[in-house]
Amino acid sequence: MARRKLAGLRVLVTGASQGIGRALVVEAARRGCRVLAAARSQELLDQLAAEVRAGGGTVETVAADVTSPDDRQKMADAARRHFGGLDVLVNNAGIGATGHFMDSDPEVLRRIFETNFFGLAETTRVFLPVLKQGTTPAIVNVSSVVGKRALPARSLYSSSKFAVAGFSEAIRAELAKDGIDVIVVSPGLTKTNFSQNMLEQKAKLQLDHMRGMTSEEVAAATLRALEKGKLDVTLTLQGKLLLLVNRFFPWFVDWKAKKTVRRLFADEIAERKKAGA
């Protein structure tokens, strides 16, 4: 677990064109990092680069999809070409969906895992040889509060983030011999357009993301964790409270979740009871 100075570090951020990823690029560049921004949209990357450079920051871009083996290699090649290597890999790219598991399309679950888990894991694999040569190297995996406590109607997204947590814990020990830190940041509700970009939105109860942290606040907290060498960070008061209650009273969180689902589906439950009478 290393404390590190951010200025001068070579940082790659995936999913950099919007939301938390974009805010991370802007803030990291403002703090003196040399940033490689990766995302699927070159147009949005160009807009981001213009903003960062106008503020005096150093940024390069690479249009890449983390689910593509060729694009993952393209990111590694770009890091070597532009900066001679990499010190920090921020695995931020992610997609989501809401709705009950029984109503979901199997293909949606696979697409979520392809980006949120397999894309993250295989991007990490490609960059390990590069990071081993880096300065105070680190991998930052952007997860979620629901990757620590699952909630109903978020089973697909939550399961992918639980996988990220398990993967991160395992490689954290494995990479200790190489001096590579593995940091997990778990945001709660965040004011981004993440919900608008979901593959499916079938949840009866929608969470109000506008009550959450801003992308800039999440970015600042992430860089603070990187700077101070914190390995596991949970964000938002609501997220911390949920995990605190779940730690000591998991039965209560289960009871509350079940009660909420029964209330939302009261009519369906009543119809089923009537049909069985």
Residues assigned a catalytic role? 157
Q: Which residue has the tokens 């395992």?
A: 170
What is the greatest pairwise CA distance in the chain?
72
- Look up residue 57 and give its amino acid: G
Helix (H, G, I), strand (E, B) or coil at 243: helix
For residue 39, give Cα distances in angstroms to 7, 88, 240.
Answer: 23, 17, 30
Helix (H, G, I), strand (E, B) or coil at 218: helix
Query: How far apart are the C-alpha atoms of 85 and 78, rounded to whole Å?
Result: 9
180 DSSP 8-state letter: -
Q: Which residue has the tokens 């695995």?
A: 91
Which DSSP string do the residues of 46-106 spell out, in sequence order? HHHHHHHHHTT-EEEEEE--TT-HHHHHHHHHHHHHHHSS-SEEEE------BS-GGGS-H
